[in-house]
Structure 1
Amino acid sequence: MNEDGERAGTESVPPSPPSGLRHSMRAFRHRNFTIFWLGALTSNTGTWLSNLTVPYVLYQLTGSAFWVGLVSLWQFLPGLFFGPLGGALADRHDRRRVLLATQTGMAVAAFLMWAFWASGLREPLALLALVGLGGLFHGLNLPSWQSFVSDLVPRDDLRSAVSLNSLQFNAARAVGPAIAGILLAALGPSWAFFLNGLSFFFVLAALTLISGTGDSGPAVSSSDGVTRQFTEALRYIRGRPGILVSLLVSVLVGVLGNPVFQLTVVFAESVFHTGAMGLGLLNAALGIGAVLTTPLVSGGFSGLSLSRMVRWGLVFYGVALIAFGAAPGYLFAMFSLVAVGGCFLAVISGVNTAVQLMVADRLRGRVMACRIMVTTASFPVGGLLQGHLTDWLGPRPTICGAGALMLLSSLLLICGFGRIRLNRLDDPHDTDDPAPAEQR
């Protein structure tokens, strides 16, 4: 009886799910993903040279935080208009080929920015126009980019792949600004713009080396127009509460949380008086926080659901923003930005992964385009609003106010409004049923 009882007791205990750092990095077991990740890391590091240099030189030329906010508008506004086309391209064509075309366009825009500055021209509106040209290709690029990640790994490793894709972006955010600070202080903006253009060759080489994905875009009739396909995606999203919640969280981050990435320019120049090097270190702190959070967001802790991760990420995001806005000194501000960067990755990666896991494969590109468009619209709105408030009230009250609103919004989402609750981020995968989902 004891033997039977012991056997029964042993069999009744389920095996522990895999966890730990090695498990969170499991997407690297796949050759195509590793090649893509390395190329993207190098290219995005170059992109962050430009992302820091443009607002820096604009603030030097104009002395206005509002102009810094305009960078976000011109960087993301084209993506808002071209998002439906980008989503249709991602679902109708081989995503690898789409990425080759869009990345080439972004490289051309980057080299034009370098040529403009190297020629001695210093016109703010022309700088913004070139930012907008890069933003146009970026808007076409993003739906295929985010959907392409799911083509490189099996579904069981998708959370790891999505999170590691966010990691390389944020690792680039840590390294790129630090290099930009050195370049701006020692050699000037021209070198930062030039190296950004060169960096695109790495991701283009990676896309060329990737093989075996085939026609990665799901079969969608080319006879359907872009408007009809996009309308189908909107109807689909309306019936999926989990995706709606992810869009709402993206808006909160865009309007309240993301502008701090641009306003570090104002804090470095007008609050802490640290110059280009100090600005680079502030932005590097944001990336370091994201890197430190990677094991958490990529599934290294098996008991942590996406909804719980986003819930606490939003709460601490608000607290960290208040701490940065009220920072008594530069060192305290740097540590606060480490927390901001970690919370940003936890929240954005969490909602992005949730959508990737929930959405039907046949609509993946278009739904990701909708999510990107919502984020794209909220980023410049937040940047312009907080840039204007910074000119009016000052940078400290603006960031502290944004943090307080973020904290209040997170508490309201935790309590929930009908279907709009953060726990909907854990909704299951749609098995490609074309009929609208019923309200659960």
Structure 2
Amino acid sequence: MTPPLDPGDSVPDPLPATGAPPKRIRGKAPKDQGLVHSFRAFRHRDYTIFWFGALASNTGTWLSNLTVPYILFTLTGSAVWVAYATLAQLAPAVLLGPLGGHVADRFDRRRVLLATQASLAVVTFALWGAWASGWHDPYMLLGFVSLIGIINGINMPSWQSFVNDLVPREDLMSAVALNSMQFNAARAIGPAIAGVLLATLGPSWAFFFNFLSFGFVLAALLCVTSTQPPSGRSPGPVVGEFIGACRYILGQRGLLVGILLSVMVGLFGNPLFQLTVVFADTVYGVGATGLGMLNAALGVGAVLVAPLIAGWSRVLPISKVVKWAMLLYGVGLVALGFTPSFALAIPCMVLLGACFLAAISGINTAVQLIVAERLRGRVLAARLMFFTASMPVGSLLQGWAADLWGVQTAVVLAGASMLACVLVLALVLRGNGFSRLDDPQDTSSPEK
């Protein structure tokens, strides 16, 4: 997939039974590359509507995502409690991953998203009501966060697969990168607003605005006309189908490498988003406003790099994008751990946000381009499950290390671990490492 397939440019041979990547016939390099073509996915009406609705909704979600760890750390003074919140939100999503993948492959994804987003709006409204009424208890917060995680376990496979339904294959990299940019733009805007709200009006307003934001994505989904075609097969047992998808992944080295890299990001990189609370309070002493600025810097970095990733996707191999992103990610974590100044921490956060966007959007695009269409929902559910499972594990380990040795030491250890893994994949495994992200799509016969 170097560059990604474009109609008329190259044609892959059918995937051999061994699962080895087929040879491809290359044509001339496509002309539509560079920043001017970064936003080509916006040529499609349904994608554009969905993108803006998701931007508004995710901005609200990040109000809550910053408010919950801020409250927990204020109430308990412990980084481990912040990790508990991550575990409470993500563990249900891991357990329900097989069901979410089954639903994504069997039902109209737009209808699934309407149901799950409406349910999230109801839970968010209840959380606002509980906090506004004076119920300020960490266990209450964990309970609501767990409910959100349960719904997200059903929601996320359909959400990720839905992007593929809105654009043609040749615009998928642009769509995925812009979708990641939207999410990270929300990460930049939401925490900045949350910092101001927490410093002035208090947490209840952050929860309330998050509830209101769901109206935007629900309206967008009602306006979208794209629907998922029926699978043409009778649904089988949920667990059996998921086991079959896992066996399929084991036979596709590119998918296996993509999932392994997702786990690395979840273990070593993603916990930083929760630990910003500890940095703001114990290292830099900048309060809620500074906390918002740290998280906003992560989003700014992602927004800045997304057009570069989308615009040059047809000439930059995904394997190289992900490899360099993860290498710089490790370097950035180590640098942040040795940074004594809040002013110097901001550019570190910008770099880390850019690396997170480049790595995750590249991995997600590679998986979407390699997987057979009939298994898309279940394979994406498996990737999300492993990625999601790695995040609370990483958060608990780094939260424990932060309580014992300090948050800066914890982040340095995480960065060094990521660098070690990247070097093993790049120098030791080589042909079975990052390069497998460039494997072409599986076009083998449908399952019977």
Q: TM-score, normalised by structure 1?
A: 0.94
Give the drift of 1:23.
1.2
Task: Output the CA distance in 2 between the equivalents of 1:179 and 1:140.
Answer: 29
The 1:306/1:148 distance shift into structure 2, 3 A limit, reads: same
| Structure 2 counterpart of 1:391, from 403, 426, 433 | 403
Q: How many residues align?
A: 422
Task: Output the CA distance in 2 between the equivalents of 1:249 and 1:141.
Answer: 22
Task: Output the CA distance in 1 between the equivalents of 2:447 and 2:106.
Answer: 21
Give the drift of 1:214.
3.0
Deviations 1:370-414 (A, max 9, x none): 000001100000011100110001011100111111111111111
Corresponding residue of 1:19: 33
Q: Is contact 2:36-2:311 (8 Å) kept?
A: no
Q: Is contact 2:119-2:151 (8 Å) kept?
A: yes
Deviations 1:269-306 (A, max 9, x none): 01100000000000000000000111222143542110
Segments of structure 1 that go 5 or more residues without pairing to the other structure are: 1-12
- One-letter amino acid of the counterpart of residue 399, structure 2: G
- One-letter amino acid of the counterpart of residue 193, structure 1: F
Q: Is contact 2:105-2:231 (8 Å) kept?
A: yes
- One-letter amino acid of the counterpart of residue 178, structure 1: A
SS in 2 for 1:67: helix
SS in 2 for 1:298: helix
- One-letter amino acid of the counterpart of residue 175, structure 2: A
Corresponding residue of 1:83: 97
Task: Output the CA distance in 2 between the equivalents of 1:289 and 1:404.
Answer: 21
The 1:27/1:60 distance shift into structure 2, 3 A limit, reads: same
Within 5 Å, which residues of 2 pair with 1:85-104?
85-104=99-118
Corresponding residue of 1:221: 234
Segments of structure 2 that go 5 or more residues without pairing to the other structure are: 1-26
- One-letter amino acid of the counterpart of residue 100, structure 1: L
| Structure 2 counterpart of 1:70, from 66, 84, 99 | 84
Give the drift of 1:415.
1.8
Corresponding residue of 1:54: 68
Give the drift of 1:126.
1.1
Within 5 Å, which residues of 2 pair with 1:223-242?
224-242=236-254
Task: Output the CA distance in 1 between the equivalents of 2:373 and 2:291.
Answer: 42
| Structure 2 counterpart of 1:346, from 358, 361, 364 | 358
Task: Output the CA distance in 2 between the equivalents of 1:126 and 1:387.
Answer: 21
Q: Is contact 1:362-1:432 (8 Å) kept?
A: no
Q: Is the deviation greater in 163-172 or in 299-308?
A: 299-308
- The percentage of counterpart residues that share the same residue type is 57
Corresponding residue of 2:143: 129
Task: Output the CA distance in 2 between the equivalents of 1:418 and 1:28.
Answer: 36
Task: Output the CA distance in 1 between the equivalents of 2:29 and 2:172.
Answer: 22
Within 5 Å, which residues of 2 pair with 1:343-422?
343-417=355-429, 420-422=432-434
Q: Is contact 2:29-2:315 (8 Å) kept?
A: no
Q: Is the deviation greater in 390-399 or in 294-303?
A: 294-303
Corresponding residue of 1:273: 285
SS in 1 for 2:358: helix
Give the drift of 1:431.
1.2
Q: Which runs of 4+ in 1 moved over 6 A?
A: none
The 1:298/1:416 distance shift into structure 2, 3 A limit, reads: farther
Q: Is contact 2:105-2:377 (8 Å) kept?
A: yes
Q: Does 1:118 align with 2:128?
A: no
Give the drift of 1:22.
2.3
Q: Does 1:37 align with 2:51?
A: yes
Q: Is contact 1:90-1:217 (8 Å) kept?
A: no
Give the drift of 1:419.
6.1
Give the drift of 1:66.
0.2
The 1:114/1:433 distance shift into structure 2, 3 A limit, reads: same
Which has more radius of gyration?
1
- One-letter amino acid of the counterpart of residue 303, structure 1: V
Q: What is the aligned-residue RMSD (CA, Å)?
A: 1.5
SS in 2 for 1:232: helix
Q: Is contact 2:165-2:227 (8 Å) kept?
A: no
Corresponding residue of 1:289: 301
Deviations 1:336-363 (A, max 9, x none): 0000000001111110000000000000
Give the drift of 1:24.
1.6
